[in-house]
Amino acid sequence: MKEYKEKVLEFLLQPENFEVVWELYDLIPKDRTALYRRLVNGTLQQLETHLKKELSGTDWEVELFIHKTKEDPIITLFKKDWNDYFYIELGFEVIGSDYFGLVRDIDTYKFLKDNNEIEKIADEFLGEGNGYERDEWYLGSKYVNDFTDIEVLKKLLPENRNTLIEEYIGILAGFAKEIEDKVPKLVEAARAISSKKK
């Protein structure tokens, strides 16, 4: 790698190649995270398209959220009859890991936070026994991969991207089918608790 870098530098330092230097200088982001973000966003846009095809004919909705801030992009799967409270989310950390899980919307519905009744029902199909982790937002989340920088880059490049997308589709579609019949219990419990509070 060192020899390769030296050859590139030697090329760029030749006066006749200075024009290339200035073009590259303007083209390449100063922050390498910005470069990854462009690749991540492109991959997830492609994934969103494929997921919509995969789930066409069902009542699943798929949305990609690409934040204008430095937050990481996420893909959300939801159903209109229970997305008021819960939804599936795939999060892709630009450099690091990707994860998925069943999310509760505690910002809007604060009674979902630390609610024993809902968490007891969720433990029937999520929880540590099944390899899921819990936190404030997630009733159950799992890390899919833990990347090094170069591994992320390789997986996001066009020649590897389709393999990665197929992996994600399998994970998300499989998870959606697994919990499809069970989440209505959570929704029913949440609505019951919510109505008591009014």
Strand partners for 61: 78
Q: Are residues 26 and 73 in the same domain?
A: no
Q: Are residues 88 and 66 in the same domain?
A: yes
Residues 8, 36 within the same domain? no
Overall domain count for the chain = 2
pLDDT values of the chain reduced to their tens digit, one per residue, 198 residues? 568 888 888 888 888 988 888 888 787 777 778 888 888 888 999 999 999 999 999 999 999 998 877 678 899 999 999 988 999 999 988 777 899 999 999 999 999 999 998 999 888 888 777 889 988 999 999 998 888 878 888 888 888 899 999 999 999 999 999 999 999 999 999 998 888 765
Q: Do 80 and 10 sit in the same domain of this protein?
A: no
Clarify whether residues 11 and 80 are in a common domain.
no
Give me the helix-helix angle, 32-54 and 158-179, nearest 10°: 50
**Does 65 share its domain with 129?**
yes
The domain containing residue 18 runs over which residues? Answer: 1-30
Q: Tokens in use for 193? A: 């608790």
Same domain, 106 and 149: yes
Residue 180 shares a structural domain with residue 108: yes
Same domain, 120 and 138: yes
* Residues forming a β-bridge with 74: 65, 91
Q: Are 103 and 92 in contact (CB under 8 A)?
A: no
- Are 85 and 47 in a shared domain? yes
